[in-house]
Amino acid sequence: MRYQDLSVKLDDMINMIIITLDARDPYTYSHSERVAALSVLIAAEMKLPQDEIDKIHIAAHLHDIGKIGVADIVLNKEGKLSKEELIQMQSHSLIGYNILNKIDLFKEIEILVLHHHERFDGEGYPSNLKGENIPIESRIIAVADSFDAITSDRSYRKGSSYEVGFEELNNHIGDQFCPTVVRYFNQANEGVAPLLDTIEKVNIHHTAFVGHEDLIHSRRIVG
């Protein structure tokens, strides 16, 4: 069955899940909307098959669903996270995988969510996958996720410009990010502003302070 044939049922379920998560972390809802939109923009620029684009769209919407399993004291902490709290935060990709793996509609989606924080140099999490061993869909979501994190406001700092966001991605080609994905994102850069400007931003409510290295270029933390 094609993923687009399930779109109505999936849309309802995705909205229910994201709205539930939004009740705990208002940042996540609009962030997921933007990451999904950016991921589809990149995938379309790469001319991936429509079925693959549909999977990316769904996985990007749900990439942070595992935060449901992160303790409120960590998710909503006002201040810098400790090493133990960062380990808990990093567990969200595995938690998301375990949630989605139990739902037949999300077969093949769960693996993309699991690996959206892998790094191209193999120092990401949870599996330390390297290079093209990381699913291309997860590599696309990783670029979109980081770009939105860089360019969005938080309660403790102002988001960077889109220009700076692209510079940051290009500065970390080959270590954090897949060179192919970043190259295609560069080609699609004129479509970013009109796309993101249509999605409401509520990031200012996100209070947990995660430093730049921890948030954007995070490596797996071993407890």
How does pLDDT run across 106-127, given as a tens digit for each residue? 889 999 999 999 999 999 999 9
Q: Per the domain annotation, does 221 fall within a domain?
A: no
- 198 lies in which domain range? 3-215
Q: Per the domain annotation, does 177 fall within a domain?
A: yes
Q: Per the domain annotation, does 104 fall within a domain?
A: yes
Number of domains in the chain: 1
Q: Per the domain annotation, does 223 fall within a domain?
A: no
The first and second tokens of residue 84, run together, are 């133990």
Residue 169 has pLDDT above 90, yes or no: yes
Q: Which one-letter DSSP state was computed for residue 221?
A: P
Q: Per the domain annotation, does 143 fall within a domain?
A: yes
How does pLDDT run across 25-81, given as a tens digit for each residue? 666 667 888 999 999 999 999 999 999 999 999 999 999 999 889 888 887 777 788
Q: Per the domain annotation, does 181 fall within a domain?
A: yes
Question: What's the predicted TM-score (pTM) here?
Answer: 0.87
**CATH number of the domain encompassing residue 76:** 1.10.3210.10
CA dist., res. 93 & res. 113, Å (int): 6
Could you list the beta-strand ranges (E) of 60-102: 79-80
* Cα-based distances in Å from 219 to 121, 124, 186, 222: 10, 5, 24, 9
pLDDT for the residue numbered 200? 65
Residue 208 has pLDDT above 50, yes or no: no
Mention every residue, 6+ apart, whose C-beta is less than 8 A from residue 67. Answer: 21, 24, 25, 28, 75, 92, 95, 96
Mention every residue, 6+ apart, whose C-beta is less than 8 A from residue 138. Answer: 59, 111, 112, 114, 115, 116, 118
pLDDT for the residue numbered 207? 45
Mention every residue, 6+ apart, whose C-beta is less than 8 A from residue 94. Answer: 66, 114, 126
Q: Per the domain annotation, does 222 fall within a domain?
A: no
Q: Per the domain annotation, does 119 fall within a domain?
A: yes
